[in-house]
Chain A
């Protein structure tokens, strides 16, 4: 990083910093929703559900994708382009697998009679997990854009910041999922 600018030395890159603040903001949104779950759950008339097994598979997929993106970042810094490229592809595939498992999980719940009517654990699950899927989707889109961008220019970019920002976000979405999953498991 630049340290010619005197007081700017050793500071976190502004883009990374902005990302961290944005993550705090996303955390607050999910904290709001899970708090709503807790408040609502303590009121009379609460209906519980049992979590479909599929959510364990999706957990596996997203955890694995965290590993692959971390390795991809490492490959990028070692300027090992082919390895970077294949690891990123695996990451995207795992993320898509995660989403597919989630959607099948929803379907299983829905077929077991948990519809949108009501305001129990099931309806919270659809909305909270659904919003999480949107964040994963956003990550996939950003990852693909970044990936293509680093190949489109005439000069290859070896700037690690976009990759690092991406990796951080990815781990965050993973962490967020673990939090949500454990939250629902404990509340069952």
Chain B
């Protein structure tokens, strides 16, 4: 019986799409402007976020190549750089001021514009309506505004690269006094005003997006789609939005006080400052630590805003390509919840060495280490899902596996840092750089790549080229470990972050060759990302066409839409949902889509 049922279920799905393919549903007059530019279709907005994010990633990545050139070859000059970059590389060398500007912009761009705006913007927009069975977001208009605020933020941030005194250069965390005093450095002048303006616009964009994601998930689910039937992607994107809506406003209030310090003469963050060449400042009584509290109250939730979407997508993709239900669905939801709560209670672990009261510090150690519990639950469940599975090594799956590997490696070093006593030596060293690049930077990128490879057929009706995808995966995975693993040793040896030249230190001379090596690998990995971008655009027009409605044989609702869904997603009625998203290998059937009613003699329906 079961085999027959499988065949039947399958053919039904295919015949369903044959007719509706390429038909657009609400075909009212659409101009180029309303369809591609000021679009209110969540799918188009998702692509806008994705492509903007990719441009940002290339810019931010190129910046890291430039400063890695300096770190790997501090004694050499590269005259060709001056030809390309002009004043950024006078005489073929990156000046100190430009080095710091590059590092600052690299951090800002990757953390906010790529891994927050680009990642959530793309997948929350694309997947929420499609996977919960809605025609669009709760407010398509706010959604469109969210993208255009992001765009505005991007323009302002980019323009700061071209002002005469250069972009902000005081680190992505924007600590005062560098961020508060125009006199403190060239980048602290107009560059910083543009930085704050861009970030304020960015916060507005995130809030508008987040509001929409939350009300869409809670209010617009199709019939039968109870919260406990939601795919884990949606749960993750939902918690991401909650984190953003509650933490970004606090960052904004920090920035408001910063603006007053910069331009209205207040001194919330400033006290007793002497700038060489300028003299003593008359700001009195402020505290830079206050800014750190406000910043990290956002900053820590922010790292989970970056990570949760990747976790959600990895969960989904691992389950689909293992042909097994995700292990411990409720535990996965519960751990997302626990992470979202704890994310608000650990910010001071970034401030162990600021003179924080040691008793308070120990409370934050405890809370920080508690995060290891839900994290470990997730890892356990991913591994158990893979256990004895019939794995399909699609490019999306490979990146999801890479995500799990990187999350484990980077999470373990978090446990070192979470102990305030160990952090006294590790703080502000390359150990921290290694920790957060592996656990957040690269692993979120892997989650994003997994998502792109997996949902590209739904986005463009074509596949990405597999050969290029495999090259992309293996070189990026090996490269990520080769770049960041050795940085742990540098950090353990005490090598501090945020210096542009380590060759004057006797203790770090031993790392000269290692730094060259890291820089070389960084360039190779960057080149492979260009290959990916090429693959992405090439495949939009030239990729192999998708011919079946459900190419990955997946259960979720997005694969019940036509191959190229129009605005409104489903030409007819929205399908009704009868089961959870993870009925794989059940009752002898490979997969049972969510919209298939429970059969009469099915075992334990979910």
Binding site for B on A (CB under 8 A): 5-8, 11-12, 14, 17-18, 21-22, 24-26, 28-33, 35-36, 39-40, 43, 45-47, 115-120, 123, 127, 131
Contacts and interface: CB of A to CB of B under 8 A. Distances in A.
B257 A127 contact: yes
Interface of A is mostly: helix
A57 to B, nearest CB: 27
A172 B260 CA distance: 26
Given A25-B211, A25-B246, 5 more contacts: A7-B222, A28-B249, A32-B294, A39-B287, A118-B285
B215 A40 contact: no
Contacts of A123: 260, 266, 268
Nearest to A30: B253
B84 interface: no
Nearest to A33: B253
B138 interface: yes
Contact of A117 (B218, B245, B265, B297): B265
A18 B215 CA distance: 6
Interface string B263-303: 01111100100000000000011110010011001000000
B224 A29 contact: no
B249 A26 contact: yes
B26 interface: no
B223 interface: yes
B224 A7 contact: yes
Contacts of A120: 285
B106 interface: no
B266 A17 contact: no
Given A7-B221, A18-B139, A39-B290, A32 B253 contact: yes
Nearest to A40: B290
Contact of A39 (B222, B225, B252, B293): B293
Nearest to A7: B223
Interface of B: 138-139, 142, 207, 210-212, 214-215, 218-225, 245-250, 252-254, 256-257, 260, 264-268, 271, 284-287, 290, 293-294, 297
A118 B246 CA distance: 29
Contacts of A39: 287, 290, 293
Contacts of B245: 21, 24-25, 28
6 contacts: A6-B223, A22-B207, A33-B256, A36-B254, A115-B265, A117-B267
B220 A14 contact: yes
B223 A116 contact: no
Nearest to B285: A45
B268 A36 contact: yes
A32 B266 contact: no
Contacts of A33: 253, 256-257
A40 B250 contact: no
Contacts of B248: 25
| Nearest 8 interchain pairs by C-beta | A29-B249, A32-B250, A32-B253, A45-B285, A28-B249, A119-B268, A116-B265, A18-B215
B211 A116 contact: no
Contacts of B265: 115-117
A8 B138 CA distance: 13
B82 to A, nearest CB: 44
Contacts of B290: 36, 39-40
Given A28-B250, A36-B294, A17 B260 contact: no
Nearest to B214: A21
B250 A127 contact: no
B203 to A, nearest CB: 10
A32 B294 CA distance: 7
Contacts of B264: 116
A40 B287 CA distance: 8
Contacts of A45: 271, 284-285
Given A32-B254, A39-B290, A17 B284 contact: no
A47 B248 CA distance: 29
A43 to B, nearest CB: 6
B218 A17 contact: yes
Contact of A14 (B138, B225, B253, B266): B138
Contacts of B293: 35-36, 39
Contacts of A115: 265
Contacts of A17: 215, 218-219
Contacts of B221: 7
A40 B261 CA distance: 14
Contact of A43 (B222, B224, B287): B287
A187 to B, nearest CB: 16
A24 B250 CA distance: 12
Given A18-B212, A18-B215, A33-B253, A119 B220 contact: no
B578 to A, nearest CB: 13
Contacts of B260: 116, 123, 127
A12 B222 CA distance: 16
A13 to B, nearest CB: 9
A118 B266 contact: yes
Nearest to A46: B285
A154 B172 CA distance: 53
A81 to B, nearest CB: 29
B250 A118 contact: no
A119 B253 CA distance: 15
Contacts of B287: 39-40, 43
Contacts of A127: 256-257, 260, 266
A36 B253 contact: yes
B174 to A, nearest CB: 15
A40 B223 CA distance: 51
